[in-house]
């Protein structure tokens, strides 16, 4: 958005220049000029290449959306829904996308059965894994922590409705003490793995385990390979397990 705002100044200059030379300036011309300049700034500011087509097409998409004459409250509603779902993804670089019941069961099979456990899904999304583990392991304390308010609210309500003993917290897992847990499950993103490893290595107790779905910690950062890499689904991403 900042880049689009910055691009508006040179875009206005270009549009006035085009008009001065009697070039027919329509809203579409203006949107294309604005998009091209925003894409150029994106390139100059060295953002990831996939931002360039997004920046180029954004003003045209705005124009097309205006053409649909949708009520303005719909934009606010969509914005609030997306805000509630993605919240601070711009900072964490971990958006919401769910794992599935096959993965949840593979996690269950990795858990020791000889003692009561305290389990946590850090970034619990809609709460699927936490509720599943609470159902399958009534002897375990199952917690989910989620930063985004909408998925948190959904999982908290689900737990209340099905009378699950699973607990859901709204908050940042970086503020937790991992020493409280026997198993920490993470389905995050490559950007989060380095910091997650440093926290886990500093805080997790001997005998506890860290499980990451799909994303490995770079062995150069961790100084070791995962103890297990398990294919929960055929051809799908692996579950990585580290014991402390
Ligand atoms: C890829 S989803 C995984 C959802 C769920 N664990 C599952 O397996 O279906 C990652 C979730 O982590 C949440 N998240 C990202 N950073 C977080 C943080 N620092 N603290 C708590 N939750 C976070 C995101 O909002 C998102 O819902």
> Quick one: pLDDT band at residue 130, thresholds 50, 70, 90?
very high
How far is the CA of 87 from the CAs of 2, 91, 95, 111, 169, in angstroms? 18, 9, 9, 31, 15
Read off the pLDDT of residues 214-240 as tens digits, 9 standing for 90 and up. Answer: 999 999 999 999 999 999 888 889 999
Express each pLDDT in 71-85 by its tens digit. Answer: 999 999 999 999 999
Q: How far is CA 81 from CA 59, 70, 94, 161, in A?
A: 22, 17, 17, 22
Distance CA 182, CA 17 (A): 66
Beta strands in the chain (DSSP E): 118-122, 141-146, 167-170, 183-186, 209-213, 228-231, 238-243
DSSP secondary structure letter of residue 189: -
Question: Does the CB atom of residue 214 touch ligand 1 within 6 A?
Answer: no
Ligand 1: centre distance to CA 4 (Å): 29
Give which of 60, 135, 69 is closest to 104, Cα–Cα. Answer: 135
| Binding site membership of 174 for ligand 1 (Cβ less than 6 Å) | yes
Q: Which two tokens stand for residue 103?
A: 């993965």
What is the C-alpha to C-alpha distance for residues 232 and 240, in angstroms, rounded to an integer? 10
Over residues 161-186, the mean pLDDT reads 97
Q: What is the pLDDT of residues 34-63, one digit of tens each?
A: 999 999 999 999 999 999 999 999 999 999
How far is residue 215's CA from residue 212's CA, in Å, rounded to a whole number? 6
- Tell me which residue has its CA closest to atom 2 in ligand 1: 96
Q: Whose CA is nearest to atom 22 of ligand 1?
A: 123
User: DSSP letters along 52-90, please?
Assistant: HHHHHHHHHHHHHHHHTT--HHHHHHHHHHHHHHHTTHH
Whether 107 lines ligand 1, by a CB cut-off of 6 Å, is no
Query: What does DSSP say about strands 238-243 and 209-213: parallel, antiparallel, or unpaired?
Result: antiparallel
Whether residue 133 has pLDDT greater than 90:
yes
**Residue to substitute in 88, 128, 146, 198 for testing ligand 1 pocket (most ligand atoms within 8 angstroms of CB):** 146
Average pLDDT value over all residues in the chain: 95
**Nearest alpha carbon to residue 180 among 119, 115, 242:** 119
d(CA 137, CA 152): 22
Residue 180 reports pLDDT greater than 90? yes
Q: Which atom of ligand 1 is nearest to the CA of 186?
A: 6
Instruction: Name the residue of 122, 123, 124 to mutate for ligand 1: max ligand atoms within 8 A of Cβ.
Output: 123
Q: Cβ–Cβ contacts within 10 Å for residue 207, how many? A: 10
Task: Give the pLDDT confidence of 9-35 residue by residue, as tens digits.
Answer: 999 999 999 999 998 899 999 999 999
Distance from C-alpha of 16 to C-alpha of 23, rounded to nearest angstrom = 10
């Amino acid at each position: 958005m900042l880049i689009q705002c910055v691009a508006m100044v040179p875009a206005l200059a270009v549009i006035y220049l085009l008009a001065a030379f009697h070039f027919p300036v329509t809203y579409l011309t203006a949107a294309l000029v604005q998009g091209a300049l925003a894409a150029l700034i994106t390139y100059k500011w060295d953002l990831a290449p996939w931002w360039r087509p997004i920046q180029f097409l954004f003003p045209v998409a705005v124009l097309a959306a205006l053409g649909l004459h949708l009520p303005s409250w719909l934009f606010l509603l969509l914005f609030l829904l997306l805000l509630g779902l993605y919240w601070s993804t711009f900072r964490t670089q971990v958006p919401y996308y769910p794992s599935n019941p096959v993965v949840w069961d593979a996690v269950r099979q990795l858990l020791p059965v000889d003692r009561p456990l305290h389990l946590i899904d850090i970034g619990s999304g809609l709460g699927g894994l936490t509720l599943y583990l609470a159902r399958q392991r009534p002897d375990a304390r199952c917690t989910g922590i989620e930063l985004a308010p909408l998925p948190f609210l959904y999982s908290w309500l689900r737990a209340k409705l099905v009378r699950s003993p699973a607990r859901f917290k709204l908050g940042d897992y970086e503020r937790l003490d991992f020493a409280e847990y026997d198993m920490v499950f993470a389905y995050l993103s490559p950007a989060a793995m380095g910091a997650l490893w440093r926290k886990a290595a500093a805080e997790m107790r001997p005998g506890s385990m860290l499980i990451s779905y799909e994303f490995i910690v770079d062995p150069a950062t961790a100084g070791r390979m995962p103890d297990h890499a398990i294919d929960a689904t055929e051809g799908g991403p692996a579950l990585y397990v580290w014991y402390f």
